[in-house]
Chains A and B, each alone.
Chain A
Amino acid sequence: MATRPARSLAAQERRFALALLVPALVVLLVTTTVPLVYLAWTSLMRLDLAMAYLSGFAGLDNYVKMGSDPRFWNSLVLTGIYTASTVILQVVIGLALALLVLQIPRGQALLRVGAILPIVLAPVVVGLFWRTLVLAPDFGLVDLVTRSLGLGSHNWLGDPDLALISVIAIHTWQWTPFAFLVLLASLATLPPDVYEAARLDRASAWQRFRHITLPLIRPAVVMVVILRTMTALSAFAAIFAATGGGPGSATEILNLYAYRTSFTELNLGYGSSLAMVLLAITLAISFLMFRLRRAR
């Protein structure tokens, strides 16, 4: 008899807690889930503002169309190249920097603060900054360096191959500090006794790195790779500001192609399906990587 009111009190409290949560849940639902569902729905529609009279349900037509769309495949390949190269570069450079900085006895804090600077810049600003000050032919910083090294002046954002390299460099520049900071923090926590033991066993520096450091910081590396991959896949603003996907379609990764299809060509249906493909790829890769993380 005594427990019943208590239980109903608990139930009441739970209900009250739920009621308090409802506004937050609704906001979350409205701002994240609903647009996503709407995007998925739109991707199944023929919705081309230029030919609004043809609008209607199209089933999987938009997805079928991608098979024979060379620009889609081009953008998919570019997305792959862009993501793989930026993530590898970030981890390699970030790790190298972290190992280097770890040797510095003083001033680490200053370097950490400095490293944050590119991260806090808005990607659009980064793109414009590189486009106008760093990569512009004739008076850009990079051009100045290559010319003084006798490598000549180059059209960094105007040449198809150089443009792709340039946008990869921009992304790497902005986000390597993230990898650097995470890996530095992770390296700083490694137990020194293991290294001492290794040294007593006459393990070389490379052996120590390969067999002690890497396995120990593996979780951190995998985490960095996952986070950076997701960002690289959804990169947009810096490329949009620096090249707009050009020249031609040389830097048009999937995200930019989806944008141009939706908002420049006004083909919202097809653009949505492209965005859905990007979403699927991002989810699939993240899923695989999380599996990888658990594997050992």
Chain B
Amino acid sequence: MSKQDRIGPVRPSRRRVMQQGAALSAAGMLGAPFASSAFAQGDELAPYRSAKIDWKQAAGQEITVAVIPASYFENLISLQPQFEALTGVKVRFEKVPPGQIRQKAVLDLSSKTATYATHAADPMYFPLYVANKWVDPLDRYLGDAKLTDRAWFNYDDIIKAWREADSVDGKPYGIPYDGEVTVQVYRKDLYDAKGLKAADTLEQLVANAKALNDPGNRMYGLALRGFAGAGQNMYIYPSIFRSFGGQWFKDKVLTVNSPEAVAALTWYVDTLSAYAPPAVRNWNWPDIADAFSQGTVAAYIDAHSSAAVITNPEKSKVVGKIAYARWPKGPSGKRVTSIWNWGFPINAALSDKAKAATWLFITWAASAETQARTSWKFAGPAKRSGINRVSLWKSPEFAAAMKGAGDNFIPAALESLEHDTDVDWRPRVPQWPAIGDTMATAVQAALVGQKKPKEALDEAQARIAQIMKG
């Protein structure tokens, strides 16, 4: 097979350049100046071919995958030719902005049009998907020796907290591709100057914020997400709620206005009102990371992956002054971190052949090799920090790739993932889309002073009772 056949004559793509580079280096090693690209390709795919399955079993299928336009998916998309060469399955990636991907997926799944073979799924949507039988349980696929080489794929190596978040009643419905965990991010230099340490409790977090807060000099003590949304302020508030000892379910009834909830929301409102930039009410994580990069915020709690923004030397003024720590403990003595992952489910409306092709895509994307190739082996500047496997998190290569992030980056994130979360840190019910939105509105209404925390939560409770009743 000639290169022209496979790639087309127009412009040398990144793939072609890489491939030629690989071919050249392989040729150099072997001393054969005209090694074919087919050889390089075989070499490139060797780590996958060691799996004892027939990668070509669904050759000729075409699948569409919806992802969000983010660097961690861009890295995956750049490897698409490798997947197509490996399996003979054609993949079409559709980039959907994060604000719309849930709706698009739900519309596709509910109308059974089978447009998206798989999509980057919000873990909180799995209960909804499963209640409607829109996605396939994946234990079948994992257990099928024809489709999965268990030892090679090593599902149990994937981070447990994310696996559980993509499972319902112990059955996996999505395979995590990329994930994140929230940690304290703080300015080491400012903390050291005042003799402060990373907060171990929420009280200390407030004390630290107070010590550094100096709005006159455009320096604010702390920032947390204030923008309303199930994935914005309702990504952070649940952790505070749980660390105040809150439980989502009381006698199997979803309860959001318990005394712990009121205390947690009051803490959130008071702390942000006192020590955060006023605009935080409308801030999502990129705004917070930007402010931190500009040196106007001393600490924040958000996703570990925001490190990519604050350590970007082109945009950040605080590179080299950053350190990380786990969430502070709440009054209950518990640390509760917020976790997230983009998992891939299988659309139940697909044909069996297409399902097999989709599963091959998912195992390829979630495999240790692809994870490494989209992280430290990736040629571009964006090395993914949300890799899905414990073994990779503990690898020296990952540590080397992440060493620019700052002090204690990997330990803080990994310990948080292993110890500071459980699957129910948010209420996992099919009605989550409505509940998340209702709560997000209530939390923001309290933050901006439209309502008192208790009043806001009482109203949310009344609405949620209505929603759960249907």
Contacts and interface: CB of A to CB of B under 8 A. Distances in A.
Interface residues of A, number: 33
Contacts of B28: none
B131 A246 contact: no
Given A50-B430, A138-B279, A263-B103, A244 B228 contact: yes
A158 B131 CA distance: 37
Contact of B437 (A53, A69, A158, A265): A265
Contacts of B432: 50
Interface stretch (B361-369, B376-384, B416-424, B448-456): B448-456
Given A49-B128, A137-B279, A158-B278, A266 B433 contact: yes
Interface string A221-248: 0000000000000000000000010111
Contact of A249 (B110, B227, B441): B441
Contacts of A33: none
Contact of B448 (A52, A248, A265): A248
A141 to B, nearest CB: 15
A260 interface: yes
Nearest to B283: A158
A113 B462 CA distance: 52
B441 A248 contact: yes
B441 A137 contact: no
A248 B450 contact: yes
B132, B441, B445, B446 pick with most chain A CB within 10 angstroms? B441
Given A71-B463, A266-B434, A267-B434, A158 B448 contact: yes
A265 B228 contact: no
Contact of A250 (B438, B448, B466, B470): B448
Interface residues of B, number: 38
A50 B448 contact: no
Contacts of B466: 65, 69
A50 B254 CA distance: 15
A247 B434 contact: no
Nearest to B110: A49
A246 B467 CA distance: 21
A12 interface: no
Contacts of A267: 434, 467
A246 B228 contact: yes
B434 A246 contact: no
A46 interface: yes
B128 A50 contact: yes
17 contacts: A50-B128, A50-B467, A51-B470, A52-B131, A54-B470, A65-B466, A69-B463, A71-B463, A155-B279, A155-B282, A158-B282, A159-B448, A247-B228, A247-B445, A247-B448, A248-B444, A248-B446
Q: Which 8 A-B pairs have the closest CB atoms?
A: A248-B445, A265-B434, A158-B281, A247-B448, A160-B450, A50-B431, A248-B450, A50-B430
